[in-house]
Amino acid sequence: MGIKYYKPTSPGRRFMQVLTFEELTSRNPERSLLIPLKKSGGRNNSGKITSRFRGGGHKQMYRIIDFKRDKYDVPARVASIEYDPIRTAFIALLHYSDGEKRYILAPYGLKVNDTVISSKTKELDILTGYAMPMKFIPSGSNIHNIELRAGQGGKIVRGAGTVAQLMAKEGDYAHVKLPSGEVRLIRLECMATIGQLSNIDNINISIGKAGRVRWFGRKPHNRGVSMNPVDHPHGGGEGKSGQGNPHPVSPSGVPSKGFKTRKPKFSDKYIVKDRRKK
């Protein structure tokens, strides 16, 4: 897929880039797989802002994605490759042989009229888009949409262009190298899909202007020193005041540079190689 560069007719256009979307084959989504998406503006059920700098953005409809791939041993034909405004990867519409329709994350190289299938009990061919437990996938294979618990549905490696590698199998666990460089143990009965995810050029896109970020529902991020003391520990003072060069902190007072906030998680024992340690 290529990247379109605009002529610099204005300062906002000068650095703006978009994808050419050559892989897409349909502009109209499947209506039976659409549900409305209500925006929260970063507010919780009490109306209090818990995620700052969220709001606005274009109206969107949510596409129901089959992350579980739990329609086993029923072949499906790829009807179309479509754009999904909710995520960076493209999605593929599957028409199963029994008449059911589902969306899945589209792997790179998947084309219209290709056949995909998923199985939980038998080994399949190692073809793009096929889904099966990792105990049936050969070591060294590229995979995505990986479950962390069997039957839960794919939770990791779901972004555009991402890919993980099944490095080895030992006992009841597989050693999976994630895009971040982390090597993690995942049980062999967990499902994964063969191949790398689509929209590889997404990482190379230049947003180009602030207004385009607003279309995504993200508002400007203002500094703590520009606020009042009631809003931020860095706020207040006459003029541009740093208040004696304090340590940078979050609005709640937690140090924001070098202060470790990660708590021990039950899944830490499954990390073989940490992504932070080079």
223 lies in a domain? no
29 lies in a domain? yes
221 lies in a domain? no
Task: Return mean pLDDT, the chain.
Answer: 94
Average of per-residue pLDDT across 159-182? 97
255 lies in a domain? no
252 lies in a domain? no
| Interatomic CA distance for residues 229 and 100, integer angstroms | 57
114 lies in a domain? yes
| Interatomic CA distance for residues 50 and 251, integer angstroms | 11
What is the pLDDT, as a whole number, of residue 264?
Answer: 87
Count CB neighbours of 94 within 10 A: 25
What is the pLDDT, as a whole number, of residue 278?
Answer: 63
Helix H or strand E segment including 12: helix 11-14
Residue 150: which CATH number?
2.40.50.140
Q: How confident is the model at residue 194 (pLDDT cuts 50, 70, 90)?
A: very high
**140-158 pLDDT, tens digit each:** 999 999 999 999 999 999 9
| Interatomic CA distance for residues 106 and 25, integer angstroms | 12
**45-97 pLDDT, tens digit each:** 999 999 999 999 999 999 999 999 999 999 999 999 999 999 999 999 999 99
Q: What is the dihedral of CA 48, 53, 57, 59, to 10 degrees?
A: -30
**256-268 pLDDT, tens digit each:** 999 988 888 888 8
What is the pLDDT, as a whole number, of residue 65?
Answer: 98
What is the pLDDT, as a whole number, of residue 243?
Answer: 62
Average of per-residue pLDDT across 192-199? 98
Q: What total of structural domains would you count in the chain? A: 1
235 lies in a domain? no
If you ran DSSP here, which 8-state letter would residue 144 be given?
E
Q: How confident is the model at residue 276 (pLDDT cuts 50, 70, 90)?
A: confident
Ramachandran angles phi, psi of 161, nearest 5°? 75, 0
What is the pLDDT, as a whole number, of residue 262?
Answer: 83
C-alpha dihedral sign at 180, 146, 66, 43? negative
| Interatomic CA distance for residues 30 and 103, integer angstroms | 9
CA-to-CA separations, 191 to 28, 100, 102, 173, 265, in angstroms, rounded: 30, 21, 17, 12, 23
Tell me the residue range of the domain where 67 lies: 3-38+59-203+266-273
Helix H or strand E segment including 173: strand 173-177
Count CB neighbours of 197 within 10 A: 26
- The percentage of residues in the chain with a pLDDT greater than 70, rounded to a whole number, is 98
Place of tokens 């990247």: 3
Q: How confident is the model at residue 2 (pLDDT cuts 50, 70, 90)?
A: confident
What is the pLDDT, as a whole number, of residue 88?
Answer: 97
**10-32 pLDDT, tens digit each:** 998 999 999 999 999 999 999 99
What is the pLDDT, as a whole number, of residue 242?
Answer: 67
SS (H, E, C) 73-108: CCCEEEEEEECCCCCCCCEEEEEECCCCEEEEECEC
218 lies in a domain? no
Average of per-residue pLDDT across 121-137? 95
Q: Buried b / exposed e across 63-78, counting CB within 10 Å, b at 16+?
A: bebbbbbebeeeebeb
| Interatomic CA distance for residues 257 and 88, integer angstroms | 29
Average of per-residue pLDDT across 192-219? 96
Among 49-63, 155-169, 171-185, 262-276, where is mean pLDDT lowest? Answer: 262-276
| Interatomic CA distance for residues 66 and 182, integer angstroms | 26
